[in-house]
Structure 1
């Protein structure tokens, strides 16, 4: 009676499939771990910013990196003649705009873009919402940030005849800076309750979910290796070992 033992004999097709899929699965797993690290850094930066003193924007505009998530205050006058309407902003199932208004800083030649909040869109696109704002001197407080992010940018941020207020598909700070007769930093001052409640940019969920996704991708990679080994194992007789 002959005995049979297992021998690993890789075949071409399973080897090609595994060679193609395994790096992809491992890459997706490590990518999710990297995303988790990024989210953790965002949370830590937000916590550090919350503990830092508020920034006085009239004393000087910080860089975009230094401004991220910081509480800030500014004194000046709103430029009601030049405003941006960020399109496709949905609240409770209602389509609307976010009103972005430059605040001309007192005692300087610069301005800060202020996210004044959400407004419902009129029934017809031919009409614009009411964006009127008092041009008197005021003090505005809020949180600094990049504002709502978009996953895909199709074409320029805005199109049209260049009139005001100007609809924008997404926040292109360079284009907004060029459209204004004065300089603005490439971030927003978000005011009101929305500033306190706003999620950090790109923060739909925390790092824990990314860790869960990474475990899933690594599990699939492990399963692929096990399947590859299984389909390439063949039984052989003892005499085959000595032939």
Structure 2
């Protein structure tokens, strides 16, 4: 095929190679789009769960998948002697702690961890924030999330008294001897205890997949353009 002195002369091997690469890239892009759609659907379901009435946490063991991101409530009493300070939590650029206290559910032997909120750290890290803990039976409400909270961990033994770098449920059970639900309540009650409860809404993560999909489609287009450029040659004039 010749157009304005340019001849399209593709070679078989380059055509096959370009077709294979482009098909693979398009399939990868479509896969990323499907992953983004799955995450958006899951986020819509989580949003729906968060708008439903709060459900009471039972005294029997539950599955994390059945309660994650749902609004829950638990009636019982705090055990302040087992409070831990989850370190390296930043709020508006200020370092601090998340205050984690177990709540005994009713009169049972079952407990649930409550993330009561954020408190700023003192410049002298040997001084922990003084936290006021209610006595007696109370009702705690909030959003259920995983009781396992991990960031970068250099050693499994990095626990200093009440200050913990990560919250490992099995390690906490071993340290306290408590029977615990696999969920933790992100408290949302309006309690005047000086703690900050501004929980970050989990993102679906679909934007990352959409970005990857765009990259795959862009690379497929680039391969196609390169293939066309390499397959087109200018015809020599008869007079030359």
In the superposition, the TM-score normalised over structure 1's length comes to 0.73
CA distance in 2, matches of 1:75, 1:101: 14
Q: 1:43 to 1:193 in 2, by over 3 A?
A: farther
Contact kept in structure 2, 1:64 and 1:186, CA below 8 Å: yes
SS at match of 1:136: coil
Aligned counterpart, 2:223: 225
Matched, 1:154 2:153: yes
Distance 1:130 1:28, change over 3 A: farther
Q: CA deviation at 1:72?
A: 1.7
Q: Distance in 2 between matches of 1:57 and 1:95?
A: 32
Gaps of 5+ in 2: 191-195
TM-aligned CA distance change 1:225 to 1:147, over 3 Å:
farther
- Displacement of 1:101 in angstroms is 0.6
Q: Corresponding residue for 2:193?
A: none
Structure 2 counterparts to residues 192-231 of structure 1, below 5 A:
192=188, 198-201=199-202, 203=203, 207=206, 209-210=207-208, 212-231=210-229
Deviations 1:117-166 (A, max 9, x none): 1100111222222234234222212221127966x6333466135x2x23
Q: CA deviation at 1:65?
A: 0.8
* TM-score calculated relative to the size of structure 2: 0.74
| In structure 1, C-alpha distance between the alignment counterparts of 2:102 and 2:198, rounded to whole Å | 22
State whether residues 85 and 166 of structure 1, in contact with CA within 8 Å, keep that contact through their aligned partners in structure 2: yes
Alignment-derived partner of residue 167 in structure 1:
164
Distance apart, 1:47 and its partner CA: 0.6
CA gap of 1:46–1:180, structure 2 versus 1, over 3 A, is farther
For the aligned residues, what is the CA RMSD?
Answer: 3.7
Task: State the secondary structure of the residue aligned to 1:8.
Answer: coil
In the TM superposition, residue 230 of structure 1 has moved relative to its aligned partner by 2.6
CA distance in 2, matches of 1:83, 1:28: 47
Q: Give 1:39 shift.
A: 3.7
Number of matched pairs? 225
Q: SS at 2:181's partner residue?
A: coil
- For 2:226 and 2:12, the matched residues in 1 are separated by 8
Structure 1 residue runs without a partner (length 5+): 239-243
Deviation at 1:189, TM superposition (A): 0.8
